[in-house]
Amino acid sequence: MDIAPMLAKAVPDVPEPDSVRGGLRYEPKWDGFRGIVTVDGDSVEIGSRGAKPLTRYFPELVDAFRSQFGGREHPVVLDGEVILRTGEPGAEHLDWEALSQRIHPAASRIAKLSVETPAQFVAFDLLAADGEDLTALPFDERRERLEHLLPDIADPLFVTRTTLDVALAREWLTTFEGAGLDGVVAKPRAKPYEPGKRSMLKIKHHRTADVVAIGYRVHKSGSGVGSLLLGLYGDDGELRQVGGVSAFSDKRRLALVDELDPVVLRDADGRPVTSSGERSRFSSGRDTSFVRLAPELVLEVRYDQMEGDRFRHTVQFERWRPDRDAESCRFDQLEVPTAYDLRAVLN
Report the distance separating Cα 45 and Cα 58, nearest Å.
10
Cis, bond preceding 156 (omega within 30 deg of 0): yes
Query: By C-alpha distance, which of 210, 218, 165, 181 is closest to 315?
Result: 210
| Radius of gyration from C-alpha coordinates of the chain | 23
* Helix (H/G/I), strand (E/B), else coil: 168: helix
Cβ atoms of 91 and 69 within 8 Å: the answer is no
State the Cα–Cα distance between residues 78 and 135, nearest whole angstrom. Answer: 11
Query: Helices 59-69 and 107-116, interaxial angle, to 10°?
Result: 70
User: What backbone phi and psi angles, to 5 degrees, belong to 183?
Assistant: 145, -145
Residues annotated as part of the active site? 29
Asked whether 31 and 96 are in contact (CB, 8 A), the reply is: yes
Q: What is the dihedral of CA 257, 263, 265, 266, to 10 degrees?
A: 70
